[in-house]
């Protein structure tokens, strides 16, 4: 309404001036200037309110930024063109808009957006710094959880390596036991991929495959190291091996171990504890054998069950003697 009133007043001024004398070029420009400013202010406000358009302007893509402003400034532009037609003659407004006005528009809008562009540049720099910090933290977290996962699988492989199963089966068993650590490592790796802007489609299974191959390699290495570092048997261990040689089950071990009292009166609970201690490797092997048959079972539960069975077997052996 304000510009409409100004426009009507200016037309009256033009009409009265034309009847007396022609307006000077300076007078024409002064009359038209408010319309130019109104249109330019509209473009500046619209770009400032549109983050995508403001980023285009920051990169020097001014005409893309102005196009992103859409038709929100159409009314202001139409008034500027109409006023130019009234002042300079019909048809001159469109020529002015497409020529001198658009040529100077990036400079004029850029001057108005100087503070907004500076703020946006600072925001982006801060966001980039935060992004780099998050990537660094995520990278360290991934490395920590990856190392913890491999420490877990190696520890389990060292316990499973006595089995005659293949390295692939041992690796699967170790990864199942360490499933929590494996999932945490995979989650951390995927979080880092997302922060770096990568496409995680199918990547999780690829990473799991890499882990599987690494654990298989570790199983081969642990088995080789175990065989290479096996100590020579001492006379005492040889005697024990002779007494317990060929034992494959906890029951067989317990039956042989019950003879260690050698006719002495020994408290039953102490004897059972001693027998269980002697046969602990066989009890552990029994639990792990069950786990290798069905890795879906919890190893801790199988260990508890194997110990329970061994205690019962020890009692039955002692009572039968």
Q: Which of 319, 320, 283 has its CA nearest to residue 299? A: 283
* Distance separating alpha carbons of residues 180 and 171, to the nearest angstrom: 15
User: CA 245, CA 241: separation in Å to the nearest integer?
Assistant: 5
Whether 76 is in a domain gets the answer yes
* Cα–Cα dist 25/11, whole Å: 16
Q: Which 8-state DSSP code applies to residue 246? A: T
Shared domain check, 146 and 88: no
Does 232 map to a domain? no
Distance between CA atoms of 256 and 245, rounded to whole angstroms?
Answer: 10
Q: Which two tokens stand for residue 226?
A: 């175990």
User: Residue 205: which pLDDT band, with cuts at 50, 70 and 90?
Assistant: very high
Assess if residue 162 is contained within a domain.
yes
Instruction: List, for residues 181-194, the tens digit of each pLDDT value.
Output: 999 999 999 999 99
Whether residue 278 sits in one domain with residue 182: no
Residues 189 and 98 in one domain: no
Report the distance separating Cα 288 and Cα 165, nearest Å. 11
Residue 233 within a domain: no
Q: Which of 73, 91, 112 delimits the end of a domain? A: 112
Q: How far apart are CA 7 and CA 221, in angstroms?
A: 89
Closest to 83 (Cα-Cα) out of 1, 2, 3, 16: 3
10 Å CB burial of residue 321 (0-12, 13-18, 19+) is: exposed
Question: Between 245 and 116, whose confidence is greater?
Answer: 116
Identify which has the larger pLDDT, 313 or 13. Answer: 313
- Regarding whether 75 and 138 lie in a shared domain, the answer is no
263 phi-psi bin (left φ>0, alpha ψ -120 to 50, beta other): left
pLDDT value of residue 213? 92
* 236 falls within a domain: no
Counted domains in the chain: 3
Domain final residue, candidates 49, 83, 112? 112
> Model confidence at 1, in pLDDT bands (50, 70, 90)?
very low
Torsion of CA 308, 311, 312, 315, to 10 degrees: -170
Answer left, alpha or beta for residue 34, where phi above 0 means left and psi between -120 and 50 means alpha: alpha
- Cα distance between residue 309 and residue 313, in whole Å: 6
Query: Distance (Å, rounded) from C-alpha 310 to C-alpha 304?
Result: 10
Q: Which residues contact 156 (CB under 8 A, 6 or more apart)?
A: 173, 174, 177, 178
Parent domain of 17: 2-112
CB-based contacts of 198: which residues, under 8 Å, 6+ apart? Answer: none
Q: How high does pLDDT run on average in the chain? A: 83
* Residue 237, domain member (yes or no): no
106 and 74 co-located in one domain: yes
Comparing 100-109, 137-146, 279-288, 298-307, which segment has the lowest mean pLDDT?
279-288
Largest CA distance in the chain: 142
**Among residues of the chain, what percentage have pLDDT more than 90?**
51
Residues 105 and 201 in one domain: no
- In a shared domain, residues 312 and 249: yes
Domain boundary among 85, 112, 139: 112
**79-128: pLDDT as tens digits:** 999 999 999 999 999 999 999 999 999 999 999 999 999 999 999 999 99
Dihedral (CA of 58, 61, 63, 69) sign = negative
215 and 284 share a domain? no
Q: Are 302 and 291 in contact (CB under 8 A)?
A: yes
In a domain, 238, yes or no: no
End-to-end, the C-alpha distance of the chain in Å comes to 113
Q: Are residues 282 and 181 in the same domain?
A: no
Token pair recorded at residue 70 = 């859409």
Per the model's pLDDT, the better-predicted residue between 14 and 106 turns out to be: 106
Question: What per-residue confidence (pLDDT) applies to 266?
Answer: 55
> What pLDDT sits at residue 90?
95
Residue 190: both structure tokens together = 């995927």
Asked whether residue 38 falls in the same domain as residue 102, the answer is yes
Residues 192 and 249 in one domain: no
How far is residue 311 CA from its own chain's centroid?
48
Both 155 and 222 in one domain: the answer is yes
Cα dihedral 218/222/224/226 (nearest 10): 180
Average pLDDT over residues 40-64: 93
Residue with tokens 């159409």: 74
Which among 217-231, 247-261, 265-279 has the top mean pLDDT?
217-231
269/303: higher pLDDT:
303
């Amino acid at each position: 309404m304000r510009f409409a009133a100004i426009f009507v007043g200016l037309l009256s001024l033009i009409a009265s001036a034309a009847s007396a004398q022609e307006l000077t070029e300076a007078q024409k420009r002064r009359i038209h200037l408010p319309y130019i400013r109104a249109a330019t202010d509209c473009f500046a406000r619209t770009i400032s309110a549109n983050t995508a358009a403001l980023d285009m302007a920051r990169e020097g893509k001014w005409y893309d930024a102005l196009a992103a402003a859409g038709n929100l400034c159409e009314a202001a532009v139409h008034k500027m063109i109409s006023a130019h037609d009234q002042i300079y003659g019909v048809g001159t407004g469109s020529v002015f808009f497409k020529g001198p006005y658009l040529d100077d528009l990036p400079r004029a809008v850029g001057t108005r957006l100087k503070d907004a562009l500076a703020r946006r540049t600072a925001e982006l720099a801060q966001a980039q710094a935060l992004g780099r910090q998050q990537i660094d933290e995520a990278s360290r977290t991934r490395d920590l959880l990856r190392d913890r996962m491999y420490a877990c699988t190696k520890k389990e492989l060292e316990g499973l390596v006595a089995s005659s199963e293949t390295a692939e089966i041992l690796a699967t068993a170790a990864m199942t036991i360490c499933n929590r650590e494996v999932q945490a490592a995979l989650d951390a790796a995927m979080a880092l991929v997302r922060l770096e802007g990568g496409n995680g489609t199918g990547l999780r299974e690829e990473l799991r495959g890499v882990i599987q191959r690494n654990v298989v390699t570790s199983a081969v290495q642990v088995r080789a190291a175990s065989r290479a570092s096996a100590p020579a048997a001492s006379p005492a261990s040889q005697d024990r091996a002779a007494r317990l040689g060929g034992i494959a089950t906890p029951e067989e071990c317990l039956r042989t171990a019950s003879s260690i009292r050698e006719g002495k009166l020994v408290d039953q609970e102490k004897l059972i504890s001693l027998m269980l201690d002697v046969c602990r490797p066989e009890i552990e092997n029994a639990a792990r054998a069950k786990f290798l048959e069905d890795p879906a079972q919890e190893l801790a539960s199988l260990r508890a069950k194997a110990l329970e069975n061994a205690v019962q077997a020890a009692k039955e052996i002692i009572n039968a003697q």
